[in-house]
Amino acid sequence: MTQKTIEDLLRELAPQVLAALLRRYGAGQFDICEDAVQEAMIAAIRQWPGSGRPDDPRAWLITAARRRLIDQIRSETSRREREQSQALLDRPLVDARVSQEDDSVQLLQLCCHPALTVSAQITLTLRAVAGLTTAQIAHAYLLPEATIAQRISRAKSRIREAGAVFPAPAAAGDRLDAVLAVVYVMFSEGHTAASGDLVGDADLTDQAIHLARVLHAALPDDGEVAGMLALLLLTDARRPARTTPAGVLVPLDEQDRSLWNRPFIEEGIAILERSLPRGGTGPYALQAAIAAVHAEAPTPEATDWPQILALYRLLERETGNPVATLNAAVAEAMVSGPAAGLASIDRLLASGRPVDEQRVTAVQAHLLERAGKTAEAVSHYREAARRTRSIPERDYLLARARRLEHPNPR
């Protein structure tokens, strides 16, 4: 079994192992359970390549995590806390071999602790369950890493103050806003990696799509759940055309649309057609509708940009999100020309709202290129390349700058 295969399996099993510990020992401290799971994963990475994968990897990991949890609790200095925790550990872990159902969504709901604010629920769950790094979460929310780290630390402290108990979700729709936000950020960070030498993380996007499917199966009449699943399917459908075989980024208007995943597109559009008449016009459904307009256009020139602009303006009014404003500026440029788009971006920057400066600079470069302002476009492309931590994106931006500087290479 290769190291890569082991790591893929561990990523899949980690939430299930954490769920098992939290269900059985929920009165223990959250961070201790999380640490125990991480140590079990490290032990698997070290041992499995040599000894072979166990017949039941999930049970092996739960047992290993439980042993480490016991060791940690036994090392506590407070005798009273140690005795209370040990009493909990005497309960048999009956689900280590028996419970094999998919409880990933329930784990997300469980970790979206009701004692926390929604923003803290999302941040903690992204870190502990989805496995995103502090840097990835900070990138998603346009916040400094230190702010996110502090938010996670405070969330864990608040849970301890609340008795370190994780109340079970009351129903499938319990804590839904936070759960949807977690799934959305998971997909977004998988679709476009914030750093590294890969465009994205297919395992993370696949995991997010799986969670959206489970949610939709449990809540088939919820418009935003349907919108979320449709959005992820329609966006991921473009994955095969987003890069060349060599891993070079391909922008949307240059993609080979014959490579798009047609079954995903058909499924996503069918979900929207069922849900929109029932009032599915929340933020996720609106984004899905935008993705559907792109998916239905046979060529870039056939794209209905006025409709996309109208949808982005609705989304902007609905959320106030500066990302929606930036995307609306791109759509406005396609409808009314690059000068109109650049003016919209200037208004966004003047508003003082937090923005992803790297992305704004890259969009400005593209619009400046379309406006024929070559020198300014080159400067913005190079500045955007300097700001990104994604190697494929950096290479793409620098290539655009070089193409403008040397339009007719010999």
List per-block mean pLDDT (blocks of 10 residues) for the chain, which spans 410 residues: 69 78 62 82 86 85 84 57 46 38 67 80 81 83 88 82 66 83 91 83 87 90 94 97 92 95 97 82 93 96 97 94 96 97 97 93 97 97 95 94 82
Same-domain status, 341 and 371? no
Same-domain status, 317 and 371? no
Same-domain status, 85 and 18? yes
State how many domains the chain has. Answer: 3
CB atoms within 10 A of CB 257: 17
The string over 381-400, giving b where at least 16 C-beta atoms fall within 10 Å of a residue's C-beta and e elsewhere, is bbbbbebbebebbbbbbeeb
Task: Report yes or no on 142 lying in a domain.
Answer: no
Contacts 24+ apart (CB under 8 A), 150-155: 151/119, 151/120, 151/123, 151/124, 152/123, 152/124, 152/127, 154/120, 155/113, 155/116, 155/120, 155/121, 155/123, 155/124
Q: Which residue has the tokens 């979206």?
A: 112
Alpha-carbon distance of 326 to 65, in angstroms, equals 45
Tokens of 80: 């009273």
Alpha-carbon distance of 385 to 351, in angstroms, equals 25
Task: Report yes or no on 221 lying in a domain.
Answer: no
Task: Report yes or no on 71 lying in a domain.
Answer: yes
Q: How far, in Å, are 171, 189, 192, 385 from residue 389 at the CA level?
A: 40, 13, 11, 8
Boundary-marking domain end, from 98, 114, 147:
98
pTM of the entire structure?
Answer: 0.77
Task: Report yes or no on 267 lying in a domain.
Answer: no
Same-domain status, 368 and 324? no
Residue 353 contacts residue 319 (beta carbons within 8 Å): no
pLDDT score for 1: 56
Task: Report yes or no on 207 lying in a domain.
Answer: no
Residue 282 contacts residue 223 (beta carbons within 8 Å): yes
Structural domain including 401 reads 356-410
Boundary-marking domain end, from 98, 119, 141:
98
Task: Report yes or no on 92 lying in a domain.
Answer: yes
Q: Which residue has the tokens 């700001």?
A: 387
pLDDT score for 2: 63
Of the candidates 349, 314, 309, the one whose C-alpha atom is nearest the C-alpha of residue 329 is 309
Same-domain status, 368 and 408? yes
Q: How far, in Å, are 21, 88, 110, 219, 396 from residue 103 at the CA level?
A: 13, 22, 10, 15, 40
* 286: phi then psi, degrees, rounded to nearest 5: -65, -40
Task: Report yes or no on 152 lying in a domain.
Answer: no
CB atoms within 10 A of CB 185: 22
Boundary-marking domain end, from 98, 119, 151:
98
Task: Report yes or no on 178 lying in a domain.
Answer: no
Same-domain status, 13 and 82? yes
Of the candidates 292, 243, 233, the one whose C-alpha atom is nearest the C-alpha of residue 263 is 233
